[in-house]
Chain A
Amino acid sequence: MALDTTALTVFILLFAFVTVLGFGASRWRRGDLAQLQEWGLGGRRFGTIVTWFLIGGDLYTAYTFIAVPALMFGAGALGFFAVPYTIMVYPLLYIVFPRLWSVAHKHGYVTSADFVRGRFGNRWLALAVALTGILATMPYIALQLVGIQVVIGAMGIDTAGFIGDLPLIIAFIILAAFTYSAGLRAPAMIAVVKDVLIYITVVAAIIAVPMHLGGYGQVFSAIPAAKLLLAPPPAGSYGSFSAYATLALGSACALFLYPHSITGILSSSSGRVVRRNAAMLPAYSLMLGLLALVGFMAIAIGVQGMPEFAAGFKRYSNNFSVPALFMAMFPSWFVGVAFAAIAIGALVPAAIMSIATANTYTRNIYKEFINPACTNAQESQMAKYVSLVIKAGALAFIFFVPLQYALWLQLLGGIWMIQTLPSVMIGLYTRWFNGWALLLGWIAGFGLGTGLVVSHNFAPIYAVSLFGTTFPCYIALAALAVNLGVTVVLSLLLNLVASDRHNDVTVASDYV
Chain B
Amino acid sequence: MSGNSDDHKPVRPVPVARLLLLLPFVAMLWVSSYDRVDPMIAGVPFFYWYQLLWILVSAVIIAVVYKLER
Contact = CB atoms under 8 A, between A and B. Distances in A.
Is the pairing of A and B real? Answer: yes
Interface of A: 45-50, 77, 80, 83-84, 86-88, 90-91, 94-95, 98, 215-221, 228-230, 232, 241-242, 244-245, 248-249, 269-273, 275-276, 278-280, 282-283, 285-286, 289-290, 293, 512
Contact of A83 (B11, B35, B51): B51
Given A218-B43, A270-B8, A88 B28 contact: yes
Given A47-B2, A230-B35, A272-B11, 17 more contacts: A47-B3, A84-B51, A90-B58, A90-B62, A91-B24, A91-B61, A95-B21, A217-B43, A220-B44, A230-B31, A241-B35, A245-B29, A272-B4, A272-B6, A280-B59, A282-B58, A512-B11
23 contacts: A47-B2, A84-B29, A87-B51, A87-B58, A88-B25, A90-B58, A217-B43, A220-B43, A221-B43, A229-B37, A229-B45, A241-B31, A245-B29, A249-B29, A269-B7, A270-B7, A270-B8, A272-B3, A272-B8, A275-B69, A276-B66, A279-B66, A282-B56
Contacts of B59: 90, 279-280, 282-283
Contact of A279 (B25, B37, B54, B63): B63
Contacts of B35: 77, 229-230, 232, 241
A295 to B, nearest CB: 12
A87 B55 contact: yes
Interface of B: 1-4, 6-11, 18, 21-22, 24-25, 28-29, 31-32, 35-37, 40, 42-45, 47-48, 51-52, 54-56, 58-59, 61-63, 65-66, 69
Given A80-B48, A220-B43, A289-B52, A95 B37 contact: no
A269 B2 CA distance: 7
Contact of B31 (A245, A273, A286, A512): A245
Contacts of B1: 47-50
Given A230-B31, A241-B31, A83 B8 contact: no
B7 A91 contact: no
Contacts of A229: 35-37, 45, 47
A296 B22 CA distance: 31
Contact of A219 (B4, B43, B56): B43
Residues of A contacting B: mostly: helix
Contacts of B43: 215-221
B46 to A, nearest CB: 9
Nearest to A248: B28
A512 B9 CA distance: 9
Contacts of A270: 3, 7-8
A241 B35 CA distance: 9
Contacts of B69: 275
A80 B51 contact: yes
B55 A83 contact: yes
Contacts of A45: 2
A87 B62 CA distance: 11
Contacts of B66: 94, 275-276, 278-279
A66 B38 CA distance: 29
Contacts of A271: 11
A477 to B, nearest CB: 11
Contacts of B40: 217
B47 A273 contact: no
Contacts of B42: 215-217
A86 B55 contact: yes
Contact of B52 (A83, A219, A220, A278): A83
A87 B51 CA distance: 9
B13 to A, nearest CB: 9
Contacts of B56: 282, 286
Contacts of A273: 3, 7
B65 to A, nearest CB: 7
B3 A91 contact: no
B23 to A, nearest CB: 9
B51 A278 contact: no
Contacts of B47: 77, 80, 228-230
Contacts of A241: 31-32, 35
A273 B66 CA distance: 11
A211 B56 CA distance: 24
Contacts of A80: 47-48, 51
Contacts of B51: 80, 83-84, 87, 289
Contacts of A77: 35, 47
Would you list the 8 A-B pairs with minimal beta carbon distance, nearest first? A217-B43, A84-B28, A282-B59, A91-B21, A270-B7, A241-B31, A279-B63, A279-B62
